[in-house]
């Protein structure tokens, strides 16, 4: 028996390398964006991650949106009226069509609300909308009913995308996820799994039309590769770069670095039920030992801002009058020297790889320099989440985290971190709970702001948790691209322009 | 041959069963995927609701029985994270993994075998030592470094090749070289060793005495008799390459199975990890089976068990 090895190898090679020989470049008038990963899903009701919403928010319109300054404005709803403490009436924009040519009706808004709030549907976003107990349409007005006063409702509706009932009902959830139909400025074109998602401009869009014929969102997990793509001219915009990469790009005149403070707040959680941080003086010593400015300007260098409250200027409920925390290592050492047994108590700082370990190590060093006995406990993210959500007795003494509610309302950050009923909170102070509940239950913005002012001052005075900084985000872009990063990390293509 | 194949097939099933069972239980010891799927503001009730939706609230044994039932009906399940069938996700990655593995194997074989042969034929001379130094350099360079260096030189500075991604033959060049360098070194060293062994044997001296030229000696005698260890290594290399090259795929944004596996492990997407591991087990078993069969083809003195 003869074996034609050469023939077999040639056949195999032809079969495997059946790919085009030459590189294709982005089409003129298009934009290529490198993301850190692939969107998990294209169904806007089925996901919760920035990579997905970078893409799908261009395909779908939401009930409301925010402008680049963070102000809530209408999108599918043109106006709204708080008819009672628990009912919000939304007037639906007329003349909007989905990408398949069908009109967007108020019934589609009702369908979208009921879909995402249906527990059987299993949306990861259910917790953000489950205060809505009913939705109904009358003419072009949609009425949302909540289970009580819900002041953060408007902030949440900024994230509620409208899907076409007729398409979802006809094709089912799986097919809709694979080929979504929306009403946004860009229409879904192709999803090459693991590689890229391509969108095409919706020339019939009711609002500002996109400047690019096509937009390709690619999954490029390695930061150095995203930067190289930008410098090589194969990407026009790259996300999630750090200050080292930004410094590298600064010397390249063909690219620019863009940054913006976000609504994420970096903070150190303290276990108030365990020594040494069940002692207020020791908490004060920990705060005095942390050089927040050193962290933001020495380590991070992306435009982060030191914070002294569990909110940022991007949140409703931020109190600009809360004084900054003092950095005074000598004062911290004096406190630990006066409490040697407490200071020597071993304490664990819980963290996960997703967080910037430079900060975690700096915090450990700063606290140990002040006389504490801190060790770092690095675990994977699910384990970390299990630790910080556990009972205080099982919880670590310290944890580092960055909090975002994607709602730009202090309710989304202060309540879960500080209210005794939250599994994230290690604080149990009835007076603080009362202020948080007042702010959560009132539709009067002045009442809410006053309550949050009290919350932030109490946290500041008692060191219930140690806010560190308002996080910033860095993007790299080709020099001709005009793109204004926002606090909610949105990436609307129709708000960009390109000059080449 | 048939009896041999049946025996190996039964062994393969037992091995695959053991592997996926281990993966099933070990994964579930590592944490709850729902914690990663929900916003920070999710309450315990939200977490419990998501666990019920995914079927993770059932007892572990019930999940395992369900999993075995799905496997028996060739149902790989649905991704927790991507809301798509696992087969759909994996099948989109397999062609990319095959392309990269073939490219890397091509680089390794086409460069590694001649280098190994050259080292054997010039053993003891300066050129052999230089080539050995080159081979060691290939083996020592970390892939994440060589990959980034190639991107900087050929993608950013010279702009000869695309810096990342997939879709054309040009996209395949740098990842194939980065991944193939390590295998190249292995092939070169194994080939050198095997050929040096053969050079000392009587049949080589006889052939030379009969006036057989160096080219014919290499083609007809040396290479064929050196092939057994090379085939063994190829089986191992293929199974490693097909199981996924995580670092190369990450650096070059190459959407293969390795990258999918790492991303799925990080997201606790249990069903995808199980399916990829199962696939990897079958690939390893199949590659070793193919190597056994090739032994008997290359060297008729080798008999398969059962024959």
Region A33-60 average pLDDT = 89
What is the share, in percent, of chain A residues with pLDDT greater than 90?
75
Give residue A328's pLDDT: 97
Ranges A69-73, A146-150, B199-203: which has the least confidence: B199-203
Instruction: State the distance between the two ends of chain A, measured CA to CA, in whole angstroms.
Output: 64
| Mean pLDDT estimate for chain B | 84
Give residue B227's pLDDT: 82
Is residue A243 within 8 Å of A301, Cβ to Cβ? yes
Q: Considering only CB atoms, which chain B residues are within 8 Å of A24?
A: 167-168
User: What kind of fold does domain A61-162 have according to CATH?
Assistant: Dipeptide-binding Protein; domain 1 (3.90.76)
Please name the residues between 146 and 205 in chain A that touch chain B, using a CB distance below 8 Å: 173-174, 177-178, 192-196
Q: In the β-sheet with A77-84, what is the strand arrangement from edge to edge?
A: A77-84, A87-92, A141-146, A132-138
Q: pLDDT tens digit string along B3-26?
A: 777 877 787 788 878 887 888 888
A213 vs A26, A119, A187, A228, CA distance in Å? Answer: 11, 38, 11, 24
- Range of A287-291, A408-412, B206-210, B243-247 with top mean pLDDT: A287-291
Q: Is the pLDDT of residue A122 over 90?
A: no
Region B32-37 average pLDDT = 75
Question: A172 in the Ramachandran plot: left (φ > 0), alpha (ψ -120 to 50) or beta?
Answer: left
Query: Is the CB of residue A298 less than 8 Å away from at least one CB of chain B?
Result: no
Percent composition of chain B: helix, strand, coil (DSSP 3-state, to 5): 75, 0, 20
Region B42-71 average pLDDT = 83
Region A115-138 average pLDDT = 90
- Write the DSSP string, A339-386: SHHHHHSEEEEEE-TTS-HHHHHHHHHHHHHTT-EEEEEE--HHHHHH
Is residue B172 within 8 Å of B100, Cβ to Cβ? yes
CB atoms within 10 A of CB B137: 12
Enter the tokens of residue B70: 């799905």
Ranges A4-8, B4-8, B284-288: which has the least confidence: A4-8
Q: pLDDT tens digit string along B67-120?
A: 888 888 888 888 888 878 888 889 888 899 889 999 999 999 999 999 998 998
Tokens 């290479």 found at:
B223
Query: Is the CB of residue A101 less than 8 Å away from at least one CB of chain B?
Result: no
Give residue A5's pLDDT: 44
CATH (residue range A1-58+168-254+479-500): 3.40.190.10
Residue A36, CA atoms < 13 Å, CB-side half-sphere: 14
> Do A233 and B159 make contact, defined as CB atoms within 8 angstroms?
yes
Query: In whole angstroms, what is the distance from residue A117 CA to residue A124 CA?
Result: 10
Neighbouring residues of A24: CB distance < 8 A, sequence distance ≥ 6? B167, B168
Candidate from A47, A126, A381 with C-beta closest to B46: A126
CB atoms within 10 A of CB A257: 19
Candidate from B43, B82, B163 with C-beta closest to A228: B163
> Do B164 and A229 make contact, defined as CB atoms within 8 angstroms?
yes
Give residue B304's pLDDT: 56
**CA of B162 to nearest chain A CA: how many angstroms apart?**
7
Ranges A69-78, A348-357, B256-265: which has the least confidence: B256-265
> Do A24 and B88 make contact, defined as CB atoms within 8 angstroms?
no
Tokens 């089409």 found at:
A27
Q: Is the pLDDT of residue B40 over 80?
A: no
Candidate from B50, B89, B99 with C-beta closest to A16: B99
Region A282-292 average pLDDT = 97
Give residue A130's pLDDT: 87
Cis check: omega of the bond before A16, within 30 degrees of 0:
no
**CA of A337 to nearest chain B CA: how many angstroms apart?**
37
Q: Is the pLDDT of residue A447 over 80?
A: yes
Phi, psi of A138 (to 5 degrees): -140, 110
Region A78-93 average pLDDT = 96
Report the alpha-carbon angle A486-A492-A495, nearest 5: 85
pTM reported for the whole predicted model: 0.84
Q: Strand, helix or coil at A66?
A: strand
Give residue B302's pLDDT: 62
Neighbouring residues of A372: CB distance < 8 A, sequence distance ≥ 6? A276, A285, A286, A289, A336, A343, A347
Please name the residues between 5 and 34 in chain A that touch chain B, using a CB distance below 8 Å: 12-13, 16-17, 19-24
Query: In whole angstroms, what is the distance from residue A381 CA to residue A197 CA?
Result: 27
Instruction: Please give the ipTM for the structure prediction.
Output: 0.77
Q: pLDDT tens digit string along B125-179?
A: 889 899 999 888 888 888 889 999 999 999 999 999 999 988 889 999 999 999 9
CATH for A261-471 (3.90.1520.10, 3.30.70.1350, 3.10.105.10, 3.30.465.10)? 3.10.105.10
CB atoms within 10 A of CB B300: 8
Region B217-224 average pLDDT = 80
Could you tell me the pLDDT band of residue A126, with boundaries at 50, 70 and 90? confident
Domain boundary assignment for chain A:
1-58+168-254+479-500, 61-162, 261-471
Instruction: State the distance between the two ends of chain B, measured CA to CA, in whole angstroms.
Output: 6
Please name the residues between 405 and 434 in chain A that touch chain B, using a CB distance below 8 Å: 405-406, 412, 416, 422-424
């Amino acid at each position: 028996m003869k074996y034609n090895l050469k023939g077999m190898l040639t056949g195999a090679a032809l079969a495997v390398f059946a790919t085009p020989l030459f590189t294709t470049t982005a089409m003129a008038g298009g934009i290529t964006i490198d993301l850190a990963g692939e969107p998990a899903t294209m169904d806007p009701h089925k996901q919760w991650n920035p990579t997905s919403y970078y893409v799908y928010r261009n395909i779908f319109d939401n009930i409301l949106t925010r402008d680049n300054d963070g102000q809530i404005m209408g999108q599918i709803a043109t106006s709204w009226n708080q008819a009672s403490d628990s009912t919000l009436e939304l007037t639906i924009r007329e003349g909007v069509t989905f990408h398949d040519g069908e009109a967007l009706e108020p019934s589609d808004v009702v369908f979208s609300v009921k879909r995402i709030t249906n527990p059987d549907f299993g949306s990861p976003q259910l917790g953000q909308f489950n205060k809505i107990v009913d939705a109904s349409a009358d003419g072009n007005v949609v009425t949302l009913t909540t289970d009580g006063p819900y002041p953060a409702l408007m902030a949440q509706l900024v994230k509620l995308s409208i899907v076409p009932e007729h398409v979802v009902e006809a094709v089912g959830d799986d097919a809709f996820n694979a080929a979504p139909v929306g009403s946004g400025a860009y229409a879904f074109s192709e999803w090459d799994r693991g590689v890229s998602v391509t969108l095409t401009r919706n020339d019939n869009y009711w609002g500002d039309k996109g400047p690019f014929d096509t937009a390709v969102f690619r999954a490029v997990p390695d930061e150095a590769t995203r930067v190289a793509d930008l410098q090589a001219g194969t990407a026009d915009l790259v996300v999630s770069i750090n200050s080292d990469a930004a410094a590298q790009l600064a010397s390249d005149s063909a690219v620019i670095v863009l940054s913006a403070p976000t609504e994420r707040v970096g903070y150190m959680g303290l276990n108030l039920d365990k020594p040494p941080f069940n002692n207020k003086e020791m908490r004060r010593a920990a705060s005095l030992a942390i050089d927040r400015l050193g962290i933001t300007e020495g380590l991070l260098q992306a435009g982060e801002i030191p914070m002294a409250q569990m909110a940022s200027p991007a949140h409703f409920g931020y109190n600009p009058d809360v004084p900054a925390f003092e950095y005074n290592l000598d004062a911290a050492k004096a406190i630990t020297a006066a409490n040697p047994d407490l200071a020597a108590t071993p304490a664990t700082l819980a963290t996960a790889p997703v967080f910037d370990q430079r900060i975690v190590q700096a915090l450990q060093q700063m606290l140990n320099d002040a006389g504490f006995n801190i060790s770092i406990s690095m675990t994977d993210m699910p384990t970390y989440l299990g630790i910080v959500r556990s009972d205080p007795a099982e919880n670590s003494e310290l944890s580092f985290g960055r909090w975002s509610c994607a709602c730009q309302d202090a309710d989304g950050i202060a309540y879960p971190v500080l209210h005794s009923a939250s599994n994230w909170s290690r604080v149990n102070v009835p007076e603080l709970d009362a202020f948080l509940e007042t702010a959560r239950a009132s539709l009067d913005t002045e009442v809410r702001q006053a309550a949050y002012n009290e919350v932030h001052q109490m946290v500041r005075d008692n060191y219930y948790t140690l806010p560190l900084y308002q996080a910033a985000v860095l993007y790299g872009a080709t020099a001709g691209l005009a793109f204004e990063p926002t606090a909610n990390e949105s990436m609307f293509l129709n708000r960009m322009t390109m000059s080449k | 041959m048939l009896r041999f194949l049946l025996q190996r097939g039964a062994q393969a099933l037992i091995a695959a069963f053991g592997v996926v069972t281990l993966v099933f239980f070990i994964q579930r010891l590592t944490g709850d995927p729902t914690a990663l799927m929900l916003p920070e503001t999710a309450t315990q009730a939200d977490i419990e609701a998501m666990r019920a939706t995914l079927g993770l609230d059932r007892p572990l044994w019930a999940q395992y029985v369900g999993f075995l039932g799905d496997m028996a009906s060739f149902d790989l399940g649905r991704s927790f994270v991507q809301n798509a069938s696992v087969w759909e996700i994996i099948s989109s990655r397999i062609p990319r993994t095959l392309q990269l593995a073939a490219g890397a194997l091509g680089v390794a074989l086409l460069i590694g075998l001649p280098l190994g042969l050259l080292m054997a034929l010039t053993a003891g001379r300066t050129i052999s030592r230089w080539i050995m130094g080159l081979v060691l350099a290939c083996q020592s360079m970390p892939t994440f470094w060589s990959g980034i260096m190639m991107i900087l030189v050929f993608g950013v500075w010279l702009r000869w090749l695309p810096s990342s991604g997939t879709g054309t033959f040009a996209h395949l060049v740098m990842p194939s070289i980065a991944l193939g360098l390590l295998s190249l070194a292995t092939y070169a060293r194994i080939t050198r060793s095997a050929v040096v062994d053969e050079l000392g044997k009587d049949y080589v001296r006889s052939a030379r005495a009969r006036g057989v030229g160096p080219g014919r000696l290499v083609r007809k005698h040396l290479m064929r008799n050196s092939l057994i260890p090379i085939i063994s290594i190829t089986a191992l290399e293929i199974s490693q390459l097909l199981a996924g090259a995580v670092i190369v795929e990450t650096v070059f944004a190459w959407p293969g199975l390795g990258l999918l596996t790492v991303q799925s492990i990080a997201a606790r997407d249990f069903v995808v990890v199980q399916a990829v591991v199962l696939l990897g087990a079958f690939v390893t078993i199949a590659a070793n089976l193919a190597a056994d069969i090739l032994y008997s083809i290359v060297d008729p003195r080798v008999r398969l068990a059962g024959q």
